[in-house]
Structure formats: C-alpha cells, structure tokens
Amino acid sequence: MAVGPVAKPGKTKFKSAGAARSPLLGIAMFSPAVLYIVLLIGLPFLLAIFYAFSDARIGTEMDLAHFWRHLVGLDNFRSILQSPSFRAALKNSIIFTVAAQVIVMVCANILSIALEKPFRGRGLVRFLILLPWVAPVSLGTIGWKWILDSIYSVITWALVTLGFVNKYSPPMWLGQEGLAITSVILVHCWRLIPFSTVILLAGRSAIPKEIPEAASIDGAGFWRTLFQINLPIMTPILGVAILFGTIFTFTDLAVVNLLTNGGPYDSTQTLPNLAFNQGIQGSDLAAGAAISVFLVPVLVVIAYFMLRVANRAEVV
Amino acid sequence: MAVVETRKLTKVFKQGELGAVNEVDLETREGEFLVFLGPSGSGKTTLLRMIAGLESPTAGEILIGGKVVNDLTPRERRIAMVFQSYALYPHLTVYNNIVFPLKAQKVPKNLHKEKVEWASSLLGIGALLQRKPRELSGGERQRVALARAIVREPSVFLLDEPLSNLDAKLRLSAREELERFHRRVGTTTIYVTHDQVEAMAMGNRIMVLNKGVVRQLGTPKEVYDDPADTFVATFLGSPPMNLMEMDGMIVGFRPEHFRVSEDVKESAKVTFKFRVENVEYLGAEFILAGFLQGGKTDGKKVIARLLLGHSFEIGTTYDFAVAERHLKFFDRTTEKRITPRNFAWQ
C-alpha cells in the first residue's frame, strides 16, 4: 500500500484548527496549569506524606540529602491513633460532615423548589442566599463568633427579651458541649446551603417541565413527584452536591478553629484543626502531617462512590 | 367515558395583552376523536393544557362529564395526556413507567401486573418492559407514552402533537396505529396538531383555531368544503385555496377545482385564460403556478392542481375553468363566508 502521512481522525480535527499546528504552542498553553498543580498541590502533598512517616519537627534541621535517616515508619500513625484527641476529632469530623450534609440537602431542596418558579424579587432573594458562599469563610465565622458570644450574643438577648431564657444563666453557645457541637454544625450549614441550593436549582431546571407535569396528570402528588420522579432524576447532580459538601466540611479548618478551636475539651475537635494545632502550633510537623494524610484515603473512598453515582446519569 | 365542555374559556398570559385563548365554547361528543388544528401560537396547546389542568384559565369554565373541574387538580380530573416529547420518566423502566399512574392512583397492587400487560400488549411493547426510555426508538417511546396513558382507563384522552417527533415514514404508520387504537378503546380523545393532513385523516371533527379564537368546528369534510372564513380556507388544503379580491368581496376556489376548461363538465362554469409560470411534477399530479390574463382578474396569481393527462409548457397560456358550485365567497372586511352571488367576471 502506498501510505502517505496518515493522520488519525482526532488529529485532523486539530489540524483544521490551524493554530494548534505547533506542538510547542500546546505545551506553552497548558504548562501553567501543570506547573500550578505540581508546585502548589503535588509537592506539598508529597512532602506531607514524607513528613507523616518522618520525625520532622519545626525548629529541628532536616538533612534532606539523607532523608531516609528521618524515616520512622508507622510510628506517627501509631501514636495519633492512641491519642484521645485524635479519636474525638475523627468522630466529630464524621458527625459534623454527615449532620451538616443532611441538613444542607433538606434545606437546599426546599430552597431550590421555592426559588424555581418566578416571583417578584426572586433575583434579590437568590442574591441574598448566595451571599454566605461569596463571603470569606473566616469573616463569616467571625460574624458568627459574635452572634454566639457568651456575653454579647444577639440570640441570647433575643431569647431573654422573649422570656425563654434566664438572664443570669444564659446558654453558652460555644462553651457547652452539646450547644458547641450544634453551633458548629449550623455554621457549616449556613455556609454550604447556598452552594448546594445553586447546584440543585441547576439540576431542577434541567428536568424538562413536561416530566413533573406528566407525573401530576398520572396522579402523583407533591411528595411522590419529589421522591419518585424529581430526586431520582437529579441523583447525579445530588451526588456532586453531596461530594463537594462533604469534602468542604470534612477538610474545613476555619469554622472550628475560629469558633471553638476544638473546645470545650475536644468536644468540637476536628481532624484539620487537630492537625493544625499539633503540626503547626505544637511544632510536631510529623504528627500534623500524619493526621492530614489520614484524611486522604477516607476522602478518596467518598469521592469514588460519589463519582460513580454521578456517572450513572440518565439521559432523557 | 365523558364529554368535555368549555364555556367562554379564556387564558390571558400577560395582562393587557391579547389572550392566548379567547372565549372558546366547545362540547365534545361521546367517544369522538376531536382535533384542535391551528398554526403555532394559535392557542391550541394552551387550550388542551387548561383542559388537562396544567394551566388555570383566566375566565370561563371547563366541564368534564358535566362537572365543573376548574378547581380540580389534574389527577382529580381523571384524564390522561400524551405529551409532544412523551415525557417518559427517564430513570424508570418501561414497566415502571406504565405502572406509575396505577401506583399514584392507589390501584390495588395485585392488579398492577395484569393491567400493565394489557396496556403493553395493546400497543405491542410487551418485549420492551425491562428497557429504559433511552434504549427505545422514537416510535417505541410514543407507544410507551400511550400505554402509560391508557393503563388507568381514563375518561378522556389528551394528545399534544404526539407524532411531530417521528420521522415522516414512521409518522404515517403511527397515525394509522393511533386511529386503530382509538377505534378499539373508544375513549373521547382530543388531539392537538398543526398538521392539516393529520387532522383531516384522524379527526371525527376538527376545530380550527387561530390567535386563540375558534374559526370553525366541523367534520373534516365541512371544514374543507365549506370553510367558514378565509383563514380556514387557506390553512386547510395544500396548496391553499386561491383567493382574489373583486368587487368588494373575496372569491376563492381550490387548486384542484381549477382545471383545463374542457374537463369541467358542468355547464355553469367560469372560464379563465391561465398563463403557466411554473410546473411542479409530483408523480401523481402537477402543481401549476401562474396568473390569469384578461378581464377583471388580469394578473391575479393562481395555483392549479391537476392529475396527469395533460402536458404544460412554461410561458404558454391555456383555457382553464372553475365550476360555479366550487366558488366560495367571503366578505372583504370580516373575511367570513357569505352566500354565493352572481358576478360579472369580465
């Protein structure tokens, strides 16, 4: 056969684009993204894995040329697993994440249904709902710290004024175990609801309007349409919302660090906050890194299952 | 089975604007196949959606089986509807799609299987029950939608352009199937379409709508042979009726009635000189376009539809004629049909 330079079908498409003829241009176009990922995510990640298996501490010099001398095997993991703080943090991280996700999903669903149909001022309401997401976490959390303050709490003031609460023994929103846990969960919800609402709104509006209409003609009421038609069709997008929400809550440092710093008595301690406290503030880099790395397999498993759900997308 | 009635039914979407549906009075007959026919934007779908309960009327009443249903939800109206897009539930199998209305209407569980099998065998989709909608062809989806509609044995069937998503060949067979299906189940059916051929072929009666107003309601023969106004005259029939304005009125005749003069056997006929400008050969017939020459009608554009048997040259003038009984007269201002009158053609 007389064969000229045969281009694969995919390649010819690029050729016709003209600009992509030089491979250098392509490399130049995507190298910033690769650099960004390697330098800001890849290297710190590898370093954290290394620290987790080492005896690194802030202030001690490390001889990186002979890094294997610093390796201590699984010692760090053994020691954190024995620490009560770590176990409390692991338990709380899971509780916060699950509780916040349940509340967020319920509220975001209600909001997305409410915001679907046009009404006067819908644009303004959508904007207001989105605000907590737009505001920096730390600023929002500082706001909540004041709202939940033991002396200046506006909630306490309101409850006292309404006569629900004794003025002389007000609830310590961030100082009592149960209340502190509840407060942290609610601040997480406050932060995540806008995000999930927007995702669910997009999911709802992607359902052709004839489908819920057909359901109503078929005799389905509100709940049946919601649970047997709309939500199952939205499963992939719900999966995405839950995946992101889970990762945001599970890895969040700011809310707990600013509100309670894990207290009282580790009752609101979470893994990221513990890692920060021990690794950076307690200068035990190795322990901090071990706690952080401990999160990775957990998150990988969650991400794997969520993406599987998302992949099962049904096309109308 | 039941009769659907509307009384002065009106829908205005935006206040101050012209209504999408204006004071429509309608009464279906028991078990009939009624077609709402009109161009897009004529309000036919809105009218259907109001009957279904998906749209609430601005004014007027809807009655199903003699009962006012304005305030009833779609499910309380005991109707079934097939949507243009079929609106199958994408995440459910065909079986679960068909059984959904039974579950929703709390039909005893032990009857489900039997009823689904009945409906699916009626439409010949028994082999598809475990498939998902995305694994079906357009024609199969349409049948699943019909099965889902029929399974609960509704009192009224509403069909919103169910054939428009099918390709031309499939559409013809699906049309026949629908007709047979209707004859078999005998449920009062309202069918919305913009396709006049579908309407003529399927309807017991046709309601022609334009701009939210009923232009005519009658059998296919009535709306075709005795159009109530110029809109109906031109909307039905392809090519449309030839209309020309003369002496303060509008005179019209159908292209198939405009024939070579010697073929028009009636003695009461009007003859024209017809100059052919374009010839379309369609296999079984010719479509001739051209204009009239001489007299008052000089220069009027006319279309003729003839069976084979003659040959025509472009640019040549022929003797054509229309039998007087085929002439239709319309008022020039109201465009409504008026009684035939004598007329000086020359």
- Residue A313 pLDDT class (50, 70, 90 cuts): low
Each residue's pLDDT tens digit in chain B (346 positions)? 568 888 888 888 887 777 788 888 888 888 899 999 999 888 889 999 999 999 888 888 899 888 888 888 888 888 889 998 889 999 899 999 999 999 988 889 998 898 898 888 888 888 888 999 988 888 889 889 988 988 888 888 899 988 887 888 888 888 888 888 888 888 899 999 998 888 998 899 999 999 888 999 999 999 998 899 999 999 988 888 999 888 778 888 999 999 888 888 888 888 888 999 999 988 888 899 998 887 777 888 999 998 877 888 898 888 888 888 888 889 888 888 888 777 666 5
Whether residue B173 is found in the same domain as residue B263: no
CATH number at residue B289: 2.40.50.140
Q: Are residues B126 and B269 in the same domain?
A: no
Asked if residue B231 belongs to a domain, the reply is no
Nearest CB to B83: which of A214, A219, A316? Answer: A214
Residue with the larger pLDDT of the pair B177 and A71 = B177
- A305 or B227, which is more confident? B227
pLDDT in tens, A204-221: 888 888 899 999 888 888
H/E element, B279: strand B269-281
Nearest residue in chain B measured CA to CA from A233: B91
- Chain B interface test: which of A218, A222, A309 (most B C-beta within 10 Å): A218
The number of distinct structural domains making up chain B is: 2
Point out the domain boundary residue: B183, B200, B225: B225
Taking contacts as CB-CB distances below 8 angstroms, the residues of chain A near B101 are: 218-219
Establish whether this prediction's ipTM goes over 0.90: no
What is the predicted pLDDT for the residue at A285? Answer: 82
φ/ψ bin of A76: left (φ > 0), alpha (ψ from -120 to 50), beta (otherwise): alpha
Most A CBs within 10 Å, among B49, B50, B55, B75, to test the A interface: B75
Residue B266 domain-assigned (yes or no): yes
Say if B343 falls within a structural domain: no
Instruction: Tell me the nearest-neighbour CA distance from B155 into chain A, angstroms.
Output: 13
Between residues A305 and A113, the one the model is more confident about: A113
Whether B157 and B304 map to the same domain: the answer is: no
> Within this chain, do residues B284 and B217 fall inside the same structural domain, yes or no?
no
pLDDT averaged over chain A? 81
- At A14, the pLDDT band (50, 70, 90 cuts) reads very low
Sketch out chain A's domains with CATH numbers: 84-145+177-311 (1.10.3720.10)
* Joined tokens for residue B336: 């409504």
Q: Is B344 part of any domain?
A: no
B280: its two tokens: 């379309």
Asked whether residue B296 is assigned to any structural domain, the reply reads: yes
Whether residue B142 sits in one domain with residue B61: yes
The closest alpha carbon to A278, from A286, A270, A267, belongs to A286
Q: Classify each residue of B185-215 as buried b or exposed e, where b means 16 or more C-beta atoms within 10 Å of its C-beta.
A: bebbbbbbbbbbebbbebbebbbbbbbbbbb
Contact B52/A217, CB-based, under 8 Å? Answer: yes
The whole-number pLDDT of residue A164 equals: 81
Distance, in Å, from the CA atom of B52 to the CA atom of B45, rounded to the nearest integer, reads 10
The dihedral built from the CA positions of residue B267, B269, B270 and B271, taken in this order, carries a sign that is negative
According to the model, what pLDDT value does residue A3 have? Answer: 43
Which pLDDT does position A20 carry in this prediction? 54
The last residue of a domain, from among B194, B225, B256:
B225
A223 min Cα distance to partner chain B (Å):
11
Q: Please check the confidence at residue A1 and state whether its pLDDT lies above 50.
A: no
Dmax (CA) for chain A in angstroms is 96
Q: How far apart are CA B114 and CA B104, in angstroms?
A: 17
CATH number of domain containing B155: 3.40.50.300
Distance CA A85, CA A265 (A): 9
Asked if residue B324 belongs to a domain, the reply is yes
In the numeric block, which tokens belong to residue B97? 């799609």
Do B17 and B81 fall within a single domain?
A: yes
In this prediction, residues A91-95 reach a mean pLDDT of: 89
For residue B1, the model assigns a pLDDT of 55
User: Cα(A99)–Cα(A187) distance, rounded to whole angstroms?
Assistant: 12
Distance CA A214, CA B14 (A): 25
Same domain, B168 and B266: no
A232 touches chain B (CB under 8 A): yes
pLDDT for A252 equals 85
Q: Which of B175, B202, B225 is the last residue of a domain?
A: B225
Do B191 and B154 share a structural domain? yes
How far is it, in rounded angstroms, from Cα A281 to Cα A294? 19
Does the pLDDT at position A7 exceed 70? Answer: no
Angstrom distance (rounded) from CA B142 to CA B124: 12
Q: What angle do CA B340, B344, B345 make, to 5 degrees?
A: 100
B122 is in which domain, residue-wise? Answer: 4-225
Out of A211, A219, A232, the one facing B104 most closely (by C-beta) is A219
Q: Does A63 touch chain B (CB under 8 A)?
A: no
Residues B265 and B307 in one domain: yes
In a domain, B282, yes or no: yes
Q: Is residue B233 part of a domain?
A: no
Tell me the longest C-alpha to C-alpha distance in chain B: 78
Q: Which of A209, A216, A217, A234 to mutate to test the interface with B (most CBs of B within 10 A)?
A: A217
Same domain, B115 and B167: yes
Q: Are B212 and B245 part of one and the same domain? A: no
Summarised one tens digit per residue, pLDDT across range A140-175 is: 888 888 888 877 888 888 888 887 877 777 777 787
The pTM of the full predicted model, rounded to 2 decimals, is 0.76
**Residues B147 and B192 occupy one common structural domain:** yes
